[in-house]
Amino acid sequence: MKTVDIRLPVARDGLPGDDDPSVVSAVCAALHVPREELATVIVRRRSLDVRQRRSPWWVLRCDAFSVDEVPPDRSLPPLLRPVRLAKPAGDLRPIVVGMGPAGLFAALAFAEAGVACTVLERGDAVETRNLHVRDLRVHGQLHAESNLCFGEGGAGTYSDGKLYTRSKHPLVRPVYERLVALGASREILVQAHPHIGTNRLIPMMKVLRHALQEAGHTLRFDSKVVDLLVAPGPRVVGVVLADGSEVLGAPVIFATGHSARDTYAMLARRGVALERKDFAIGARVEHPQAFVDEAQLGPLAGHPQVGAAEYFLAQNTAGGRGVYSFCMCPGGFVLPSPASLGRLNVNGMSNAGRNTPFANAALVAQLPATEFWIDEPGDLDADPDFGAHVAGGALLGVALQEHLERAAFVQGGANYHAPAQRLADFAAGRDSTDLPQHFSYRPGLTPGRIDRLLPPRIAEALQRASRQIDRGQLRGYLHQDAIIVGVETTTSSPVRVLRGADRQSLSHRDLYPCAEGAGYAGGIVSSAIEGMVSAFTALAARGLLDTEQLRALGAG
């Protein structure tokens, strides 16, 4: 087998795929071999190069197999792939806290090892959760424990199902394969920037739920963890739920996501080792998708095989503060994504078709942990969850998020309408007397001053970067119908739950903090890998997997 990179012009008659005559011909030319010597060509990765907009090209990485080689098996493995344990699991009773990608893939890993666990989620199953999300978008009614952040599937369920990761971890491909087994398109195996779409993720969550239940797991919704059960050591031996009941078991895989801020406060009270970490804040920018298509694709705009265009922006501003686009959603929506009453922050999502008239992405500025501040420290006194742990401590970034989201809620009208400003007005520091007639955000927008809502040092960096982008990286960025909607505060967690090389908390044994909520990963794929590796490592700590098995599983 030989691997080769080829380039093909973009045509309108379909995507280049396995054994496509044009692909095979290009591979033969690249390898300097006659067609009769090749048995099979498999496309491993496909991306679009539009740097020369009048001459776009598909860029493909292909595996070529000669007639002398055994043809590859193109079938995909099943969702569950049993792992042989070194010895029986005995009385092992893992608890997984959180049903986002990390928690669900940790549960999958335990299922593969034949170890039943209890999976706890503070929110609702996707059927009910979807109704609650609709309540917020249509009626401005927030369900504090079941929303865009909390519930089956985690925050990633309503984020377009973006799977792109820069990680080279050996588990990236197995995560994609499991998603295909759940119902995702096989296209995610070859796309350079794969995505699933929220509308397809929701039914996939139901399939995964039934698979985990059939494997012997107990899945409990509406089961918010409010405390840890701690034995001498200290060692975590279970959790306490909001209804006062206890769930005994260990190890505890903690995969709560970045919006479970009351959980950070609980961990702080329990003396779990925490530290603040860098993150980024800003707002979400929405353009007409037609503008993005034309700006990025030129004559290729509207091509049926290319679809909605996206962009990735990055600027360094005066003083060295980095500004970049985040979570770009072509053909998508801007969504309200608060997780507690009286707060407002926004996010973005797309369905699989990416076919709305709007494109949106966060525009955020880097915020080092050394720069966290609160403009009005007195506000913190009203929140007993944070007051005792904020000053100079690990939760100062969380307090900053809360402060900005309260201000956004008030500026929007205290009804989950979002404050918004025309992007050109934002960049110039002036009022917007009106907003475009059409936009994606529901329940609605209120003309506001995002440049005054954000902290001055952040607003100034975003304003400067917007002007720089408009002059160079994406000409026309300050489009007459572009708006900026506030605020975007949850690019990642501002807290890290400290852990050792064995993935256990530095302060509490049998507590395995993982993924985005613990400050170690962001995005669906990297979080799923975090969950799987945490589960495999916990099994190894009890002698159930050896070093060789861990390495084979990508966890060594």
Write out the two tokens for 556.
Answer: 């060594």
Give me the numbers of helices (H) and strands (E) for the chain, helices first please. Answer: 14, 22
Does the pLDDT at position 427 exceed 90?
yes
Write down all domains in the chain, each with its CATH number in brackets: 2-66 (3.30.70), 225-274+496-522 (no CATH), 279-488 (no CATH)
State the pLDDT confidence band at 541, using cuts at 50, 70 and 90.
very high
Is the pLDDT reported for residue 340 higher than 90? yes
Q: For tokens 């690990």, what's the residue? A: 394
Q: What pLDDT, in 10s, does the model give residues 463-485? A: 999 999 999 999 999 999 999 99
Burial of 337 (0-12, 13-18, 19+ CB in 10 A): buried
**Which residue carries 């959980």 as its tokens?**
263
434 SS3 class: coil
How does strand 246-248 pair with strand 445-447?
unpaired
Beta strand 95-97 pairing with 252-254? parallel
pLDDT of residue 288: 98
Q: What percent of the chain has pLDDT over 70?
A: 96
The model carries a pTM of 0.93
With 80 as the cut, is the pLDDT of residue 168 above it?
yes
- Name residue 509's beta-bridge partners: 235
pLDDT for 366-390, tens place per residue? 999 888 765 544 444 444 444 445 5
CA distance 85 to 68: 38
- Give the span between the Cα atoms of 75 and 173, in whole angstroms: 14
Structure tokens at 385: 């969850």
- Distance separating alpha carbons of residues 152 and 202, to the nearest angstrom: 9
Q: Is the pLDDT of residue 298 over 90?
A: no
Lookup: tokens for 196: 């699933």
Residue with tokens 């994504």: 337
d(CA 502, CA 509): 10
Give the closest residue to 184 by CA, choosing from 515, 524, 522. Answer: 524
